[in-house]
Amino acid sequence: MEIPLGLCAPAAMPAIPFTRIAELVFPEQTNHHGTLFGGVSLALMDRAGYIAATRFTRRCMVTAAFNDVAFGKPVLPGQLAELSARVVKTGRNSCDVMCELVAEDLLSGERQMAVSGRMVMVSTGDAAAPMPSAVVSPPPDDKLTQFVEVVFPDTSNHRDILFGGEALSMMGKAAFIAATRHCRMTVVMAASEEVEFRSPVKVGEFAILTARVLMTGKSSLRIGVELDVEDPMTGDVRSSAIGRFTMVALDDKGRPAQVPPRLD
């Protein structure tokens, strides 16, 4: 029997994290028209759907179908593809996940719905076990930049542990997005400082990136970034790395530009 979701749930139900992923669009991901390939959009949606379904069920999930996919506005190079996914219906061993891809112009702040669709995710585990009852946490505060990534083998070493450099790349991306959203100007990394690695991230685990503006100077921003790791089967979360990054805003001529102050 399928169970529609979205009704008010008892407070005793466990809350699962809100699923959001973020991908900066580069020219090699676009077609001859200069817009993001539809297949790349679908791959991003599939990743977000997998994370959302796994977090909800705490089972091994695979994609069974894509339904009602609608392409709206094209996504351009340099834009941020931000995807959110949520479970909207469950069956005995499956769940439907609604996914939306919003294209954000990081310099203007303009956001447009680009793609939406519904996926059917099926459990490969014990179908006799009932689907869990859970509610999804609300999106994080707008002052935070937060997204989740899946750790794949090609980013890991021979022990199936995420390379430190890949972790820094994820943290740098989070810092870049947070800084650009704050000042809506081109930003570059000037320094990374006090990066502390606390625990490894293994293949298949979820890396949760959270970035916030800590302070601003005349043309610089200090961004704090936390990397937490989530066990997809248990939901246990632990701290993996923390760091601070200094980003500098540039004007159209590539010179340091004044940034707006941080607002509490």
Assess whether pLDDT exceeds 80 at residue 3.
no
Does the predicted model carry a pTM greater than 0.85? yes
Distance separating alpha carbons of residues 82 and 67, to the nearest angstrom: 20
* Residues whose CB falls within 8 Å of the CB of residue 102, separated by 6 or more in sequence, listed in order: 81, 82, 83, 84, 111, 112, 113, 114
* Residues whose CB falls within 8 Å of the CB of residue 77, separated by 6 or more in sequence, listed in order: 25, 26, 27, 29, 30, 34
Neighbours of 2 (CB within 10 A): 12
Tell me which DSSP letter residue 29 carries: G
State pLDDT tens for residues 105-148.
999 999 999 999 999 999 987 665 667 666 778 887 877 899 99
Task: Note the pLDDT of residue 10.
Answer: 45
Query: Residue 90's closest CA among 79, 98, 82?
Result: 98
Task: Note the pLDDT of residue 130.
Answer: 67
- Tokens 């020219």, residue located: 27
Residue 8: band (very low, low, confident or very high) from pLDDT cuts 50, 70, 90 = very low
With b meaning 16 or more CB within 10 Å and e meaning fewer, what string describes 7-16?
Answer: eeeeeeeeeb
Among 68-77, 141-150, 162-171, 228-237, the least confident range: 141-150
Q: With contact defined as beta carbons under 8 Å apart, do 260 and 216 qualify?
A: yes
Task: Note the pLDDT of residue 129.
Answer: 65
State pLDDT tens for residues 166-198.
999 999 999 999 999 999 999 999 999 889 999
State pLDDT tens for residues 94-105.
999 999 999 999
